[in-house]
Amino acid sequence: MTRTRTVAYLRVSTDKQADLGVSLDAQRAKVAAYAALYDLDLVDVAVDAGASAKSLDRPALAGALDRLARGEADALLVVKLDRLTRSVSDLGELVDRCTRQGWALLSVSENIDTRTAAGRLVLNVLASVAQWEREAIGERTAAALAFKASQGEFCGGEAPYGWRLAADGVHLSPHPEEQAALALAGELRAAGLSLAKVGERLAERGYLPRNGRRWHSQTVKNLLAAKVAA
């Protein structure tokens, strides 16, 4: 029977734990016992000592994931999923990689083994939860921004042409010169001038885009669209 080539990943979050080695030793013992019990070929043990799980940007984890992506191993083994990440969105990313690249994820404590139908079911549930969390965050953010905008509050980025950030740092106030350019552009366009001609007339009157260069047809079109939206 072909044994599954497996990379074990261990992590401790504090330098003290790394120095004492207690937590690492416990994890080593558990992954070794699990590998022996389930006939895994433990090809490597990757260790991030004193590393936080706040992101996936960890040297040993990156190396382990690279080996899996290159097909040098068939499975990633952890004692517990929180050794990989404590972030739902990061777990979702790992689940996506696992599925897309065709390697298995094994967890001792959660009894997850994606080589089996039951293990894949559990992982799919976790992935669904991660996706739900991402969408829920997006909906909450969109709702919050929409509410701020309805209250006349600026939601970040660059203020639209014709406006500038008010002294309170929250609301927008009219930019007199740019408002004049907006008004003129609207009048010229209503008079039947092409977008290019509107840009030429604006430049002749001393009105330039914020980048200080010439007006392009698309820039004028965006300018007029912003005026309508406002």
Kindly list the catalytic residues: 13
User: CA of 130: how far to CAs of 15, 108, 135, in Å?
Assistant: 30, 21, 9
Give the distance, in angstroms, between the CA of residue 30 and the centroid of all CA atoms in the same chain: 33
- Residue 128: both structure tokens together: 């669904």
Dist CA 83 CA 27 (whole Å) = 10
CB atoms within 10 A of CB 147: 11
- Residue 100: both structure tokens together: 């897309």
Residue 149 CB-half CA count within 13 A: 13
Residue 161 CB-half CA count within 13 A: 21
Label residue 191 exposed, middle or buried (CB < 10 Å: 0-12, 13-18, 19+).
exposed
